[in-house]
Structure 1
């Protein structure tokens, strides 16, 4: 087996390192899409590499094990057994993490859909906890917004416009799919956790920018985000306007600046890494096929 089989596992490191820098500059929409797509490519490539490594353990299973000990055959040696075993364990662990993440995400969506009756795309829950969330739809059932009386009391009329515009942007642009894709990639390859976090931040910045455009006031949008951040800083924080600790400070600062440019050049490195994942996975697959043919013929 060539060294290419290990490269998809290692290339996740530079992707994780550049993700925060990509998220910090330019328009959030293109960056969110690019990072989520690259994370999926990275996860699929690394999973396939682990699968090929784990499959080399089959040379210890009869009748292939007999061929391995034959002095008349000169068969190519697969990877060392311990490496193949570790690859198999990591593969199973990643699968368990992926199933757990999917189960948790689907369960959360199911509970949110059951909160109340949707009227005009909105559910208002009589909860003191300040909370606002875009609830994804299902087949035959469109998504809707869920807000609590706690967040409505916290914000004034203008800030509520920001709230609804922000959450509606999540629905319209299907941000939950990007977040779920990046989370799934990080579940099977934990090296991609910084990419998952960058995508989660970017979709909130994306919704902020949409809200600022629709209400026509970046300062008002920043004020609404800041107020929601203060409400969520208590002992039981609630997900109002996607607030998540220090990310709120960065979002408020970004809204205090001019509308960001697209800056497509910052997406060149993720694109090159995605191409690199595909290339090395293809090279590794070719080497694996040659090895399998040698053993099976």
Structure 2
């Protein structure tokens, strides 16, 4: 394998994930958050998967140390055949193999964590229809995704019910039910898995998390027909749950972004869903192209190194 080994390692693993960062920044202000969230999550998955394929190919070049293949190489050289192409250095291949083990551990841990959280939340309180009420003082609400044998629920705490009035409760329930309806758990899980594979995608996963919240905010605003009520409810819950400093987050918290998106005039909200989708599609296409080139180069290497008869 020639330069097409080293370039794929650098491109999908190091460079292409970074290309999604500006798209993630722009998408968080998008007026169509649902579409932007799905596009970013898909781009992250494709980019992470392409990088994973390239790492697998690099690690697979360790096969040139298999005794049978080494013997074939020596016989071929002694017979005056064409010199065999030299695979990449073993230290790089060993490093790729170590990265694959680390990635496997991270991906399994991420999957286990999400399932464990969902199961524990399902057991947090009695169910009434699609509503679970947990006897906790902290004001919280969360959409609990389906697990085997249990459908999705909205979990609210007794502290939240005491904090909010009837209209505010309706806004919160509309928000959480939007998460369940759009299966936002799948979107965020896809971005989380991509980040487990490649930590450079962490800013993209954070943008996806914010976008699904904004998407649910927009659904809630349409349900209650009052954007400022939803914005007020978000701020009220954040203040009660985390305190003024954490909720107002001068460093730029997601709560502030969500409130600003709701109170910003309609004409001031960006409509760049098409840009986010097309940008993510371009990065994904480039990732797949580089991975395909690496696979073709690896196939040529196998054809040269393996006995044909």
TM-score (norm 1): 0.92
Aligned mate of 1:266, from 242, 258, 276 = 276
Aligned equivalents of 1:181, 1:48: Cα separation in 2: 17
What's the secondary structure of 2:67's corresponding residue? coil
Distance, in Å, in 2 between the alignment partners of 1:103 and 1:245 is: 30
Q: Distance in 1 between matches of 2:107 and 2:21?
A: 19
Is contact 2:231-2:259 (8 Å) kept?
yes
- Contact kept in structure 2, 1:183 and 1:196, CA below 8 Å: yes
Residue 58 of structure 1: aligned partner: 63
Q: Which has the higher helix share?
A: 2
Q: What is the CA-CA distance between 1:174 and the residue it aligns to?
A: 0.3
2:111 matches 1:107: no
Aligned to 1:207: 216
Distance apart, 1:214 and its partner CA: 0.7
Contact 1:98 1:188 in 2 (8 A): yes
Cα RMSD for the two superposed structures: 2.0
Residue 165 (structure 1) aligned with residue 174 (structure 2): yes
1:245 CA displacement: 7.5
| Cα contact 1:233–1:245 (8 A) shared by 2 | no
| Contact in 2 for aligned 1:136/1:171 (Cα 8 Å) | yes
2:154 alignment partner, SS class = strand
Q: Which has the larger radius of gyration?
A: 2
Q: Contact 2:118–2:147 at 8 Å: present in 1 too?
A: no
Residues of 2 paired with 1:159 and 1:262: CA distance?
28
Structure 2 gap segments, 5+ residues each: none
How do residues 1-297 of structure 1 correspond to structure 2 at under 5 angstroms? Answer: 1=1, 2-3=3-4, 4-6=7-9, 7-9=11-13, 10-69=15-74, 71-72=77-78, 73=81, 74-234=83-243, 246-259=253-266, 260=269, 262-263=271-272, 264-297=274-307
Distance, in Å, in 2 between the alignment partners of 1:232 and 1:206 is: 22
Q: Kindly state the Cα deviation for residue 65 of structure 1 after the two structures are TM-superposed.
A: 2.6
Distance in 2, matches of 1:140 and 1:113, equals: 11
Provide Cα deviations, 1:85-118, integer angstroms capped at 9, x if missing partner.
1111111101100011111110000111112232
Q: What's the offset of the Cα at 1:16?
A: 3.0
Give the total of aligned pairs.
Answer: 291
